[in-house]
Structure 1
Amino acid sequence: MEELLELKQLLLGGNIQSALLLVEEMTEMSKDDKLNKISSFAKILLLHLIKRQAEKKTTRSWDVSIENAVYEIQKTNRRRKAGGNYLLMEELHEAISDAYQVALSSASAEAFGGCYTMEQIGNMVDRTAIIDQAMSLILGNNQEG
């Protein structure tokens, strides 16, 4: 809110250059917020995709978590008025990839009752396939695993 008031003052004062710099800063802040939300939901999505692949089963609860995470990522990334997405496909892929390690750590605590280490769970699954599946689900290509 402070930024909007500052922007108003800069515009009323005719300081267009500073106003444009502030708009760029606000745009980056907004994109960072979107990225943080997407990352949080990506961790949940990947956690359940990892458990699904490692345990070679699924549960209704995991499926619902996957569906909800995909929905929230899609909703957060969608530009409502301008159309398109906040994150380009490459940026989205990077965000999903970055969330993988945290999801793997969580999966090691949950899968098989937590009896395997993160490294052991990591050896049971195909990282690339899981990330590809997550991207496919987010982009609307409903591949089930």
Structure 2
Amino acid sequence: MFDADYLRTLNEKYWHRSIPNSVKGINKTNKRRKSGGYYAKPEAIATMFEETFDDAMEEATYEAFEGKLSIEELAAKLDRQQIIDRAIALCTKNV
């Protein structure tokens, strides 16, 4: 349907903007303002990413690929565990 260069360009454009904004929002929400520390521990954050990954995949098919890929097609191109591990690392860096 699409060539690899087109998908890579579309994907990179989306993720370079989306991921830093999402990480910033997650870290801001998780930070306790007055008492310091964090609400969710790394283990809880890992569970949240595992539980919400499929919903994020559905959103990504529309946001990053303009609805041109099915969830199954996108899943076949990605390493689920690598993405989850990277997300956990980004969101637990200071926790």
Interval containing the TM-score (normalised by the shorter chain): 0.7 to 0.9
What value does the CA root-mean-square deviation take over the aligned residues?
A: 2.0
% identity of equivalent residues? 36
Q: Does 1:105 align with 2:86?
A: no
Question: What is the deviation of 1:139?
Answer: 2.5
Q: Does 1:63 align with 2:55?
A: no
Q: Are the equivalent residues in 1 in contact too, given 2:42–2:92 (CA < 8 A)?
A: no
- Structure 1 window deviating more from structure 2 (111-120 vs 66-75): it is 111-120
Aligned letter for 1:64? R
Structure with the higher fraction of residues in helix conformation: 1
The aligned residue for residue 42 of structure 1 is: none
Q: Does 1:72 align with 2:30?
A: no
> How many angstroms apart in 1 are the aligned matches of 2:86 and 2:23?
11
Q: Which structure: larger Rg? A: 1
> How many angstroms apart in 2 are the aligned matches of 1:56 and 1:68?
20
Which runs of no fewer than 5 residues in structure 2 stay unpaired? 1-6
Alignment TM-score, normalising by the size of structure 1: 0.52
Aligned letter for 2:67? G
The aligned residue for residue 117 of structure 1 is: 70
The number of equivalent residue pairs is: 86
The aligned residue for residue 4 of structure 2 is: none
Which runs of no fewer than 5 residues in structure 1 stay unpaired? 1-54
* Alignment of structure 1 residues 4-83 onto 2, 5 Å: 55-57=7-9, 58-59=12-13, 62-83=15-36
TM-aligned CA distance change 1:79 to 1:122, over 3 Å: same
RCO higher in structure (CA 8 A, sep ≥6)? 2
> How many angstroms apart in 2 are the aligned matches of 1:107 and 1:97?
16
> How many angstroms apart in 2 are the aligned matches of 1:106 and 1:89?
24
